Amino acid sequence: MTGLPLDGVRVVSFSTAFAGPTTSRYLADYGAEVIKVESLRRSDNTRNSPDSRREPSGVATSPQFQHFNRNKRDIAIDLSQERGRELMRALVQRTDVVTENFSGRVMNNWGMDYQSLRQVRPDIIVLDMQGMGQTGPWKDFISFGNNLHSYAALTSIWGYSHSSIADYMSAQHAVFAVLAALLRRNLTGAGTHIEFGQVEVIPAMLGTFMLDYFANGTVTRDVGNHSPIYAPHGCYACQGADEWCVVAVTSDAEWQRLCTVIDRPDWLADARLAAGPGRVRHSANLDAGVQAWTRQRRAHDVEEVLQAAGVPAAAVRTRAEMDHDAHLRARGFITSIEHPVLGEREHVGLSINFSESAGRTAGHAPLLGQDNEYVFGELLGLTTREIDDLAAQGVLT
Amino acid sequence: MPPDGGQLQGLRVVDLTQPLGQYCGRLLADLGADVVKVEPLVGDEARRMAPFTADKPPRSLFFDNYNTNKRSLAVDATATDGRTVLERLLRRADVWIETSDLADGGAARALDLPALRAECPEAVLVSLRGFGADGPYADYRPASLVLFAMSGLMHNVGPPHGPPVAAPGQLAYDLAAVDAASGTLMALLARRKTGRGQRVEVNVLEVLGMQLGPITSSPAHVSSRRGNRHAEIAPSGVYECSDGAVEIGVVMPTQWAGLKELLGHPPELEGAWDEREYRRQHADELADFVAARLRPEKRMELVERAQRARLPCLPVNTVADVAGDPHLNARGFFRSTDHLGLSYPRMPGAPFHYGVGGWALRRPAPDLGQHSREILAADLDYSGTEIDRLLHDGIVFAGLARRAQAGARVS
C-alpha cells in the first residue's frame, strides 16, 4: 500500500443535500482532507430526516447525512459576518479545491466566487455545481435530482423518474472533473474554475439517444426493458407474487445456451434467430416464450440455472434484499461506521478498488463544528481563547 | 501547453473495452488524452449496434457516442505478430482500460495484462467488471440489465402491477465507467508521488450499490412500485398538465408554502397537511388533489409561476424538447459537428465547463483501423516495410482506402 491517492489534497466543501456532498465525499473517501462548511443557522438539509438524532449542539444528524458526509471534517462559521469571511479567505489560502452546490447567489454574496477566491489563492480549483448551472435564462430555477431527471429527458426515455440516479450521476461526473483539474495543476501549476451544470449530465451521458434525434429525428420514449441491440432482453414474471427476473442475451453463444436450458430446439434451429438483429426483430415472440418458462419457476432459481449455463440473468432484488446480499458482504462492500450520536450502523463501502492505494470508510459524518479547533487553531493559528471568543460572538457557530 | 489542449493532454491511453464500458475512455479523450481504441479486424461489435445514421454505409450512433475523439487501431490479437503490436502499444501508454469479462471481451482476452503490467510498473491497468473477482457472483455473466436488476434500484421503478423497469440503454455500465475514469485519474495522481502505476478495479454492481446509502436494519422493508410518485416525499413526482407534464418535489417547509401559494392557498390544505409526516401518510390523497389542480395548466406557465413561488418544478421533457431547450442552448451545451464531416449537425457537450483547457470535439469517432498506419509508424516506430508486411499478412487493418492499396484482407 502506498497510502490514499488524494492524501495531501485539501478541499473546502460548501454543500448541502445529495449531489454536492456526494462529490466531496468521494474525494474524502480516497484521502482528501475535506472541510465541510456549515453553521448553526445554515446546516446541511439531510441532517433532518425521520430517523434523525440530536447532536450535543442541538443540531440534528441522520444516517443519510452520514452516508453523504463520512470522512469529512466540519466547521461552524457564519459567513454573513465579515470576520467569518476573513477567516474563510485565510483557510482558502491553504486549500487546493473549493466545491459548492448552493443556489447561485450565495457564494457571490459572500465574496467567495471564483474570481474573488483566486485573488486569495491563484492556483485554486473551484467547482460550482448548480442544478441549472450559472449561466442561461433559467439559471435561478430551483431543481433537485428528480426533476432534473425529468427536465433532461431521462424520465421520458425511461418512462419513469428515479429517486437517486440523477444526483449520483452528477456527483460522479463532478468528481472526475475535479480530478482532471488536479492532475493538470500538478503538471502546469495552474488552477481553474469548473462551472458544472447538473442539468447537462443526463444528455451528455445519454448521448446515443440525443444523436438518434439529431441524425434521424427519433424521439425515444418509454423504452422499457427492451434493447435495440439485444434480444431476448427483458423483465419476466416468475412464480411468486410480485416476483420478477431479467434475462439479457448479449451474444450468439448466450443465445444458444438459453435455448438449450429452456428446451427450445425450435428456436435453435430457426435461422432467423441465429444473430442479434434477427432476434431483436422477433423480440415479442421471444419474450412470450421466455416468460412461459420463467412463470413456472422462482426468480432465484431462474438466476441460478441460467447463470450456471452462462446466460446473463438475475432475480430482480428489492432494496432490502440488497442490504443483506451475500456477494456484497463477502466482498467487504458493506462496512460499519461508529458514530458518536447515531451509534454503530452499516453503510455501503467503496466503488473504486486499488491494488496499491487505499480508500477509507470508517470516518463518521462530522458533528457540526467539530473541527473548529483544528482548522482555526492548528491551520490558521488562532488561540483557543480567540476561538472561544469568536464562538461567543456568533462568528464560529 | 496550448490553452485548448484539454486537461489531460499528453496522457496516453489504450482502450481495450468493448462493446460496453467505452464511456471511460471517452471521458478521458474528451479532455485531450490520446485514446487508442483497439479493435479486432472485423471491428468492435458496437459498430453493428443500433441506432444507425442514413449514411451509405450507415454509421452506428451507439459507436459514435462512445468513441468520438478516439483513434482506431484494428489488429488481430489472436496472432503472435498482432500481440507484439499491442504489447508495444501498451508499453508506451500510461493507462490500459479493459472489460474482458463481457461476452465479447475484446483483445484483453488474448493478452496477459497482469503479467505485462509487472514489466511496466508505471502503467495503470483499469478493469471494469460486472461483479468483481471474488464473492458468490464472481462467475456470473454481466449485462447492464442484469446488474441493474440485482442492485436494488429497479424493483420499485415501474407500474404498480406491472414489471419493474430498468434504466434505459447501458446506463449501469456508463455509471461505472465514470468511476473507472475517476479511479484512473486517482491512480495517476498517486503515481505522481510514488512513481508507480497500479491496478484499478471498478465493479458495476458496487457502483450501483453506492446508491443504497445507509443499510436498513429491517428485513421487512419491502419496496413497491408507485409509478411516478416517490414514496418518501409527498407530494412529489410527475403531474400531467394540458400540454405535457411537470415534476415537482416538496421536501422543505418553504417548498410546501410555495405549493400552497401556487395553488392559491386552498382551504383543503390547511391544518395537519403542514406536517411532512402527515403528508407522507396520506400521500395518495394529496397527490390526487394536486393532480386535479395542475391538470388544466400549461406546463411552462406553471413552471414559471411555481419557480416564482420557490417550488422546485421543472417540465418533463422529451429528447426533442431537450435539443430545442432555450436554457441548454443559451449555455452552448450542444456543439456543432461542422468541423467533423458528419451527417448530423450537433452533438451533446459535457456538464463541466473549464475556465482553461477544456472539453472539445477534436475528431469524429474513427473508421475501423483509420489510424492503424500512423500509430504503427509514428507511435510504435515500425518501418514502412514492416507495416506493409503486417497489412499484407492480415495482422493489421488500416481502413478501406489503405486496404486496396496494401492488399490486406479482412478475416
Q: pLDDT at position B231, please?
A: 72
pLDDT, tens only, A356-372: 999 999 999 999 999 99
Question: What's the rounded Cα separation, in Å, for the pair B35 and B25?
Answer: 7
Is B232 or B410 the better-scoring residue by pLDDT? B232
Query: Worst-scoring range by mean pLDDT, A328-337, B35-44, B99-108?
Result: B99-108
Mean pLDDT, range B245-271, rounded to an integer:
94
Cβ distance of B163 and A225 shorter than 8 Å: yes
Query: Scanning every residue of chain B, which has its alpha carbon at the shortest distance from the alpha carbon of A241?
Result: B161
Residues 6+ apart with CB under 8 A from A91: A12, A35, A375, A379, A380
Cβ distance of B314 and A143 shorter than 8 Å: yes
Answer yes or no: is pLDDT of B321 > 60: yes
| Interface with B, mutate which of A142, A201, A321 (most B CBs under 10 A) | A142
pLDDT, tens only, B116-145: 999 999 999 999 999 999 999 999 999 999
- Helices then strands, counting H and E runs in chain B, come out as 16, 13
Which residues on B lie below 8 Å from A209 (Cβ)? 168-169, 319
CB-CB contact of A235 with A225 (8 Å) = yes
DSSP B272: G
Query: Scanning every residue of chain B, which has its alpha carbon at the shortest distance from the alpha carbon of A316?
Result: B149
Set of cell numbers at residue A244: 420478477
Candidate from A146, A204, A349 with C-beta closest to B348:
A204
Cβ distance of A347 and B215 shorter than 8 Å: yes
Q: How far is B55 from chain A (nearest CA, A)?
A: 10
Which residues on B lie below 8 Å from A194 (Cβ)? 352-355
Cβ distance of B186 and A213 shorter than 8 Å: no
| Interface with A, mutate which of B189, B246, B304 (most A CBs under 10 A) | B189
Answer yes or no: is pLDDT of B402 > 70: no
Query: Scanning every residue of chain B, which has its alpha carbon at the shortest distance from the alpha carbon of A334?
Result: B215
pLDDT, tens only, B338-355: 999 999 999 999 999 999
| Interface with A, mutate which of B35, B182, B340 (most A CBs under 10 A) | B182
Set of cell numbers at residue A87: 477567516
Reference B227, options B288, B294, B318; nearest CA is B288
Q: Is the ipTM of this complex over 0.95?
A: yes
DSSP A232: S
Mean pLDDT, range B97-109, rounded to an integer:
91
DSSP labels, A5-49: TTTT-EEEEE--TTHHHHHHHHHHHTT-EEEEEE-SSS--GGG-S
Cβ distance of B150 and A199 shorter than 8 Å: no
Is B222 or B296 the better-scoring residue by pLDDT? B296
Answer yes or no: is pLDDT of B404 > 70: no
Burial class of residue B95 in the structure, from the number of CB atoms within 10 Å of its CB (0-12 exposed, 13-18 middle, 19+ buried)? buried
Mean pLDDT, range B365-376, rounded to an integer:
98
Cβ distance of B227 and A192 shorter than 8 Å: no
Catalytic residue annotation of A: 167
Q: How far is A86 from chain B (nearest CA, A)?
A: 26
Reference A231, options A201, A275, A199; nearest CA is A275
Q: pLDDT at position B222, please?
A: 56
Question: What's the rounded Cα separation, in Å, for the pair A235 and A223?
Answer: 13
For the entire predicted model, the pTM comes to: 0.97
Cβ distance of A165 and B27 shorter than 8 Å: no
Question: What's the rounded Cα separation, in Å, for the pair A320 and B220?
Answer: 8
Answer yes or no: is pLDDT of B72 > 70: yes
- Which residues, in sequence order, are bridge partners of residue A334? A348
Residue B405: band (very low, low, confident or very high) from pLDDT cuts 50, 70, 90: very low
Cβ distance of A153 and B322 shorter than 8 Å: yes
For chain A, which residues score pLDDT lower than 70?
Answer: 1-2
Q: Which residue has the cell 419476466?
A: A236
Query: Scanning every residue of chain A, which has its alpha carbon at the shortest distance from the alpha carbon of B159?
Result: A160
Candidate from A155, A207, A357 with C-beta closest to B198:
A357
Question: What's the rounded Cα separation, in Å, for the pair A299 and A317?
Answer: 9
For the CA atoms of A297, A301, A307, A308, the dihedral, rounded to the nearest 10 degrees, stands at: -110
Q: pLDDT at position B410, please?
A: 39
Cβ distance of A193 and B151 shorter than 8 Å: no
Query: Worst-scoring range by mean pLDDT, B98-107, B217-226, B304-313, B376-385?
Result: B217-226
Q: pLDDT at position B223, please?
A: 56
Query: Scanning every residue of chain A, which has its alpha carbon at the shortest distance from the alpha carbon of B320?
Result: A219
Quote the mean pLDDT of chain B: 93
The tally of CA atoms less than 13 A away on the side-chain side of residue B287 is 23
Residue B397: band (very low, low, confident or very high) from pLDDT cuts 50, 70, 90: very high
CB-CB contact of A167 with A161 (8 Å) = no
Q: How far is A117 from chain B (nearest CA, A)?
A: 14
Candidate from B144, B251, B316 with C-beta closest to A155:
B316
Rg for chain B, CA atoms, rounded? 26
Q: Is A83 helix (H, G, I), strand (E, B) or coil?
A: helix
Cβ distance of B215 and A345 shorter than 8 Å: yes
Q: How far is A134 from chain B (nearest CA, A)?
A: 9
CB-CB contact of A162 with A115 (8 Å) = no
Cβ distance of A5 and B189 shorter than 8 Å: yes
Share of chain B above pLDDT 90, in %: 86
Question: What's the rounded Cα separation, in Å, for the pair B343 and B353?
Answer: 26
Residue B225: band (very low, low, confident or very high) from pLDDT cuts 50, 70, 90: confident
Which residues on A lie below 8 Å from B277 (Cβ)? 50
pLDDT, tens only, B14-36: 999 999 999 999 999 999 999 99
Q: pLDDT at position B228, please?
A: 84
Helix (H) or strand (E) holding A58: none
Q: How far is A382 from chain B (nearest CA, A)?
A: 32
Q: pLDDT at position A320, please?
A: 87
Share of chain B above pLDDT 70, in %: 95
Which residues on B lie below 8 Å from A310 (Cβ)? 141
